[in-house]
Amino acid sequence: MERRVALRARTDFRVITRDGLLAGQCRGIEVSPMGIVLDRGRDPSGEHDHLFVQLELVLPERYRPIRAIGRPIWRLGSQQAFKFIRITDVDRLTLAEHLDLVRMRGNALC
C-alpha cells in the first residue's frame, strides 16, 4: 500500500549530492514537496550508506539552487529516493511552483 499525500511530477534537472566529503552530480527525475527520486547514472550499492545527504536542486526556472537535507528511503538500480528532512518553507514553496509548471505541461503523476 502506497501513502502519497502530495502532488508528484516527472521532471529532469541537475542535483548535486554531498555525503560526507564526497560530492556527485545526478538527475532529479521525480519530485514532490516531500521528497525526490534521483537517477545517479550508476548503481550506488557499493557506496557507504549515509543517514543524511545534502542535496542541491538546480531547477531550470530558478537562478538559486534549492538546498535540502534528505534521508535515503529506497534504492533500485541507479535510482534512489530521498525524503526531505530539512528544507526551508520558501524552498518547499518554490518546489510547489515547479510542480505547478510541470502539471501545466502535463507531466503530473498525482
Q: Say how far apart CA 93 and CA 78 lie, in whole Å.
A: 28
9-105 belongs to which homologous superfamily? predicted glycosyltransferase like domains (2.40.10.220)
pTM recorded for the entire structure: 0.83
Which cell is 86 given? 530539512
Runs of H (alpha helix) within the chain: 89-105
d(CA 58, CA 20): 20
d(C-alpha 1, C-alpha 72), whole Å = 19
Instruction: Show me where the domains of the chain are located.
Output: 9-105
Instruction: Grade residue 1 by pLDDT with cuts at 50, 70 and 90.
Output: very low
**pLDDT, tens digit (0-9, with 9 covering 90-100), for 67-109:** 999 999 999 888 999 999 999 999 999 998 888 888 887 655 5
